[in-house]
Structure 1
């Protein structure tokens, strides 16, 4: 017999995490950033993670994470959002809006990226 955790699909796990982050009942990350990321269909397929107030994405639902795509940092003193590459390496650009920032993240995704799979990075 399979327990509930085993019966859940990767899509279910990803959707649950997005739902939690979109709910805004946490102080992990700005919910506006989550909404802007979630508006991108390709990012919705990935598992969202948060570290130090920055949203990033994994190609799997478990740990260790399989980092894919860039990261959008909160608005800086210059009024712009800084978009970094995967694992925060390199700069993809600076944008005036979160929508533009996450569009840059999507534009930098590998063609074969997503949807997320169950398990840790060894599964991707």
Structure 2
């Protein structure tokens, strides 16, 4: 996990907002999760192998002015996303994600979502 976070923390600012990454890394609950970056968004997985768990909120750039929106899938492996919060700062987005994590979430499991289901 530490190696993946290091890769994300070293990404160019054109790929992901560095203040957002540092705010997420500073949060122990999020630092325990597997970070993913896609199209400027910061996403989190409860497992370290593809396919990633898709049951956690993600942070997306909002308006190009260092604001973000926090969204999550309507249901695991669903296609639509619901917005939890929008036009928030990096710190506020991190707190929103942390406050919407399922109970007992983390640290990320070295495996796939199938491995997570077998633990339930």
Residue of structure 1 in register with 2:58 after alignment:
71
Q: TM-score, normalised by structure 2?
A: 0.80
Name the structure where helix makes up a greater proportion of residues: 1
CA distance in 2, matches of 1:50, 1:26: 12
The runs of at least 4 consecutive aligned structure 1 residues that moved more than 2 Å come to 24-28, 77-80
Unaligned runs of 5+ in 1: 1-13
CA distance in 1, matches of 2:45, 2:32: 10
Please tell me whether residue 48 in structure 1 is matched to residue 35 in structure 2.
Answer: yes
Residue of structure 2 in register with 1:20 after alignment:
7
Structure of higher CA gyration radius: 1
What pairs with 1:1-124 in structure 2 (closer than 5 Å)? 14-25=1-12, 27-76=14-63, 80-86=67-73, 89-124=81-116
* Cα-Cα RMSD: 2.2
Q: How many pairs are equivalent? A: 111
Q: 1:81 to 1:62 in 2, by over 3 A?
A: same
Unaligned runs of 5+ in 2: none
